[in-house]
C-alpha cells in the first residue's frame, strides 16, 4: 500500500473516532467544551454555541457526502476521492487519479460482462434441455389442471409382457380407456389428499394391507412369468393346428337398431317411430340418431357392429332367420324395451388363418404357462414352509371382533 493510501486510511479512522466520541457525549461537540489556556471551564456563550453548531453541521455534512459517495460509486473511486496525499489535506481527486479509477471500474464492468457472456450459454442450454424434456415426455391426456404424461402411462404398463403390449397396440381403444381411467383416478386421488383422507385410521390399515398384497402379488407374478421368448413359433403353430376346431367363428351378423326404452309413453313413441320408417324406409340412420335411446349405437347411426350367434340374446336370435338384409324388423320386446333391428351384413362360419389369431394364441399360451409356473412355485414354497394354524385361538377370534357400526342414517324400508 502506498504512503498516500496509508495516510488516507489514518485520517479517515481518526475522523470516525471523533464522530463516535461526539455521539457519546451528546449533541454538543467535545472540543467546544474544552477550556482555553488560563481560563476556567464554564458554560459556553451564545456566540460559542452558534460557532460550535456550525462546525458540527459541517462535519456531519462532510461525513454524509463521504457515505453517499461510497454508496453510489465504485469503492475504489470513493476511496480515491477522499484519501489525502502525504502531508496534504483531503480534497478532490486529481485528473490522473480519476482516470485511473475510471479505468479500474471499466475493467471490473468488463469482467462482469465477460462472466455474463460465459453464463448465458449455460442458461440457454438449461432452457433447451427443459424444452427437450417436455418434447420427450409429451402430455397424453388431461382433466382440469391435472396432466398425464407419456412416461406415467408407460410406467403403468411396465408389468405387461411383449405379447400383451402388442395386443394393446392392436386395439387403440383399450389404450384410450386406460388413459381415461388413470386421469379419473388422479382426480379422485387429488380430492382425497386435499381432505387428508390418507390419515384416516381405516385408510391407514387399508394402505398397509394393500401394500403388502401388492408386493407379494407382484413378486409372485414375476416368479411365475414365462420368458419373453415363450411361446416359440413352433409352439404357436402346434397350438393352432390342435385347436383349429375351437377357433371356428360362428355365423355373425352386422346389426343396427333403434331402441325404445320400456317406460311411460313408450308405446306412443314406438308407433311414431314405425310410422316415420313406413313413410321413409331409407331414413333409418337419421331416425336412429334422433330417437334411439341407446346413445352409444345412436351416435353411430344405430350401428351395433358384428355379433356372432353366441353373443346374441335368444329372443333376438330366434328372429334372425326371418330377417332380410337392409330390411327393418318388427319391434322385438325384451326386458329393457323394444328393439327395431336392421341386418347390414352376414358372415358365415369360418376358421381364421394363423396370422389372424397369432396374438390371441400367444396370450392364451402365456397365461396357461404362468398359471402352471405359479402352482409349481407355491407347491415348493409350502413344502419348504409348512403352514400351522392354532385352531383354538382361531375359534375365539370372532368373539373378540367388534360388530360393525350401525349406519348413521338407516334406510326406513329395511329393519
Residue 283 belongs to domain with CATH number: 3.10.50.40
* pTM as predicted: 0.46
Asked, for residue 173, whether it belongs to a domain, the answer is no
C-alpha torsion angle, residues 404, 406, 410, 415 (rounded to 10): 80
Asked if residue 52 is part of any domain, the answer here is yes
| pLDDT given at position 197 | 94
Residue 295 lies in a domain: yes
Q: What integer pLDDT is reported at residue 351 of this predicted model?
A: 93
Per-residue pLDDT at 30: 40
| Strand residues in 57-214 grouped as ranges (E) | 139-143, 146-149
Residue 264 is predicted with a pLDDT of 85
* Model pLDDT, residue 77: 42
Whether residue 156 has pLDDT greater than 50:
yes
Beta bridge partners of residue 280, listed in sequence order: none
The three-class DSSP label of residue 257 is: strand
- Of 14-23, 126-135, 250-259, 267-276, minimum mean pLDDT range: 14-23
The cell 477522499 sits on which residue?
82
Asked, for residue 195, whether it belongs to a domain, the answer is no
Return phi, psi of residue 341, to 5°. -100, 150
User: Does residue 3 register a pLDDT over 90?
Assistant: no
The answer to the question of residue 272 being in a domain is yes
What is the pLDDT at residue 209?
94
* Contact present, 339 and 332 (Cβ < 8 Å): yes
**pLDDT at 378 exceeding the cut of 50:** yes
d(CA 229, CA 238): 16
Provide the number of structural domains found in the chain: 2
Residue 366 covered by a domain: no
What pLDDT shows up at residue 38? 40
pLDDT in tens, 33-80: 444 444 444 455 555 556 555 554 555 555 444 444 444 444 444 444
Cα–chain-centroid distance for residue 79?
56
C-alpha to C-alpha distance for 103 and 82, rounded to whole angstroms = 18
pLDDT at 51: 57
* Dist. CA 415–CA 404, nearest whole Å: 15
Residue 250: which of 309, 315, 305 has the closest Cα? Answer: 309
pLDDT digits (tens, 9 = 90+) for 255-305: 999 999 988 888 999 999 999 999 998 899 999 999 999 999 999 999 999
Average pLDDT, the chain: 76
Of the ranges 146-150, 239-243, 307-311, 353-357, which one carries the lowest mean pLDDT score?
146-150
State the Cα–Cα distance between residues 277 and 283, nearest whole angstrom: 7
- Residue keyed to cell 324400508: 413
Q: What is the pLDDT of residue 359?
A: 93
CA 359, distance to chain mean position in Å, is: 33
Of 303, 332, 347, the domain-final residue:
347
Residue 210 has pLDDT above 50, yes or no: yes
CB-based contact 79:93 (threshold 8 Å)? no
Q: What's the confidence (pLDDT) of residue 104?
A: 58
Average pLDDT over residues 97-113: 58
Lowest mean pLDDT among 101-115, 162-176, 297-311, 345-359: 101-115
> And the C-alpha cell for 275?
310410422
Choosing from 74, 93, 112, the residue where a domain stops is 93
Last residue of a domain, one of 347, 362, 384: 347
What DSSP designation does 342 have? E
Answer yes or no: is 152 within a domain: no
**In this structure, is residue 85 part of a structural domain?**
yes
Q: What is the pLDDT of residue 57?
A: 55
Count other Cβ atoms within 10 Å, centred on residue 113. Answer: 10
For the chain, what percent of residues have pLDDT higher than 70?
61
Cα→Cα distances 340→255, 291, 297, 343, Å:
10, 12, 13, 10
Phi, psi of 252 (to 5 degrees): -125, 155
**CA 194/CA 12 separation, integer angstroms:** 62
Buried/exposed code over 17-43 (b: 16+ C-beta within 10 A; e: otherwise): eeeeebeeeeeebeeeeeeeeeeeeee
Rg (alpha carbons) of the chain, rounded to whole number: 46
Task: Please state, in angstroms and rounded to a whole number, the distance separating the CA atoms of residues 174 and 303.
Answer: 20
Range of the domain at 310: 249-347
* C-beta atoms surrounding 179 within 10 Å: 15
Q: What's the pLDDT score for residue 306?
A: 94
Q: How far apart are CA 171 and CA 354, in angstroms?
A: 19
Strands 252-261 and 337-347: antiparallel
Please report the pLDDT score of residue 298 as a whole number.
94
Residue 221: predicted pLDDT: 93
The mean per-residue pLDDT over the stretch 219-243 comes to 95
Confidence of residue 130 (pLDDT cuts 50, 70, 90): low
State the cell numbers at 192: 382425497
Amino acid at each position: 500500500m502506498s504512503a498516500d493510501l496509508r495516510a488516507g486510511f489514518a485520517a479517515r479512522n481518526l475522523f470516525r473516532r471523533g464522530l463516535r466520541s461526539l455521539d457519546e457525549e451528546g449533541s454538543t461537540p467535545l472540543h467546544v467544551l474544552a477550556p482555553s489556556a488560563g481560563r476556567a471551564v464554564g458554560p459556553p456563550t451564545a456566540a460559542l454555541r452558534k460557532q460550535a453548531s456550525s462546525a458540527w453541521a459541517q462535519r456531519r455534512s462532510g461525513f454524509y457526502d463521504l457515505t453517499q459517495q461510497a454508496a453510489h460509486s465504485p469503492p475504489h473511486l470513493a476511496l480515491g476521492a477522499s484519501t489525502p496525499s502525504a502531508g496534504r489535506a483531503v480534497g478532490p481527486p486529481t485528473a490522473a487519479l480519476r482516470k485511473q479509477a475510471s479505468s479500474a471500474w471499466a475493467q471490473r464492468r468488463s469482467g462482469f460482462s465477460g462472466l455474463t457472456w460465459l453464463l448465458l450459454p449455460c442458461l440457454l442450454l438449461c432452457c433447451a434441455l427443459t424444452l427437450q424434456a417436455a418434447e420427450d415426455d409429451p402430455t397424453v391426456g388431461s382433466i382440469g389442471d391435472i396432466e398425464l404424461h407419456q412416461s406415467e402411462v408407460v410406467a403403468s404398463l411396465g408389468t405387461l409382457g411383449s405379447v400383451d403390449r402388442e395386443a394393446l397396440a392392436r386395439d387403440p381403444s383399450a389404450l384410450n380407456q386406460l388413459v381415461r381411467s388413470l386421469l379419473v383416478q388422479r382426480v379422485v386421488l387429488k380430492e382425497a389428499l386435499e381432505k387428508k383422507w390418507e390419515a384416516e385410521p381405516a385408510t391407514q390399515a387399508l394402505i398397509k394391507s394393500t401394500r403388502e398384497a401388492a408386493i407379494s402379488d407382484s413378486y409372485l407374478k414375476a416368479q411365475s412369468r414365462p420368458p419373453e421368448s415363450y411361446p416359440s413359433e413352433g409352439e404357436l403353430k402346434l397350438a393352432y393346428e390342435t385347436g383349429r376346431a375351437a377357433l371356428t367363428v360362428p355365423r355373425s351378423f352386422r346389426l343396427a337398431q333403434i331402441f325404445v326404452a320400456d317406460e311411460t309413453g313408450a308405446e306412443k313413441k314406438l308407433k311414431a317411430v314405425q310410422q316415420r320408417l313406413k313413410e321413409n324406409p331409407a331414413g333409418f340412420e337419421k331416425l336412429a340418431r334422433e330417437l334411439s335411446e341407446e346413445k352409444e349405437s345412436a351416435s353411430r347411426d344405430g350401428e351395433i357392429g358384428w355379433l356372432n350367434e353366441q353373443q346374441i340374446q335368444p329372443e333376438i336370435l330366434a328372429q334372425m332367420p326371418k330377417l332380410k338384409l337392409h330390411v327393418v324388423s318388427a319391434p322385438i320386446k325384451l326386458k329393457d324395451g323394444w328393439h327395431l333391428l336392421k341386418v347390414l351384413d352376414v358372415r358365415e362360419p369360418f376358421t381364421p388363418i394363423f396370422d389372424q389369431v397369432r396374438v390371441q394364441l400367444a396370450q392364451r399360451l402365456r397365461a396357461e404357462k404362468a398359471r402352471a409356473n405359479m402352482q409349481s412355485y407355491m407347491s415348493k414354497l409350502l413344502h419348504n414352509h409348512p403352514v400351522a394354524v392354532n385352531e383354538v385361538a382361531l375359534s375365539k377370534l370372532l368373539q373378540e371382533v367388534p360388530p360393525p357400526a350401525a349406519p348413521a342414517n338407516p334406510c326406513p324400508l329395511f329393519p
